[in-house]
Amino acid sequence: MNATQTPQKRAKSLVPLSKEHHFGLLFCWKLKQGIKHQTDLNVMRAYVRYFWENVLKDHCAEEEWLVARLLQTDHVVRLQLEEEHRLLQKLIELIEEGSPMNKSLFEVLDKDLTAHIRWEERELFPYLQSVVPAEDLDLAASVLQHNHSPRQDAFSPEFWLSKGAA
């Protein structure tokens, strides 16, 4: 963003999903720290599994649920969201399988998830705000809020804090 651009105001209905994106970016940072500290890859694999099951899987499902109510089935933006979620899930499955178990899988997950979150924040959400009537966005998001439970990342050991933590 250059000095003449102002940040886009996020629709109130999308704020909960945006806040969870912070969790996703923090997850990516933790993976980078684990690689930097040469954390045992089995610990990192357990963390990826934990984060998928406790945060990311439901987050992706909620985004897809929301977008399915706002865009047609064959809409290019909806298709991109769904495809990127499937690719992230396949990458996580590769890590869970542990074969081949190497740090490059974690690096790819970090890169791909970061890029995906940036796309959602910079393109998907502003696009939805520009084409979906505010009342439709608010209604869909209020239904989503009703079923949404706060997610937490309480994984242990905290390998990202320092070398030798795991």
Tell whether the model's pLDDT for residue 51 goes beyond 90: yes
- The upper half-sphere exposure of residue 49, i.e. CA atoms within 13 Å in the direction of its Cβ, equals 12
- pLDDT (mean) for 134-142: 86
- pLDDT (mean) for 27-39: 96
What are the extents of the domains in the chain? Answer: 13-147
Tell whether the model's pLDDT for residue 41 goes beyond 70: yes
Find the range with the poorest average confidence among 23-32, 52-61, 63-72, 96-105. Answer: 96-105
Three-state DSSP at 144 gives helix
**Integer Cα distance of 113 and 87 in angstroms:** 10
Q: At what angle do helices 57-70 and 76-97 cross, to 10 degrees?
A: 170
Arithmetic mean of pLDDT over the chain: 88
Q: At what angle do helices 57-70 and 134-147 cross, to 10 degrees?
A: 150
Is 13 buried (19+), middle (13-18) or exposed (0-12) by CB count in 10 A? buried
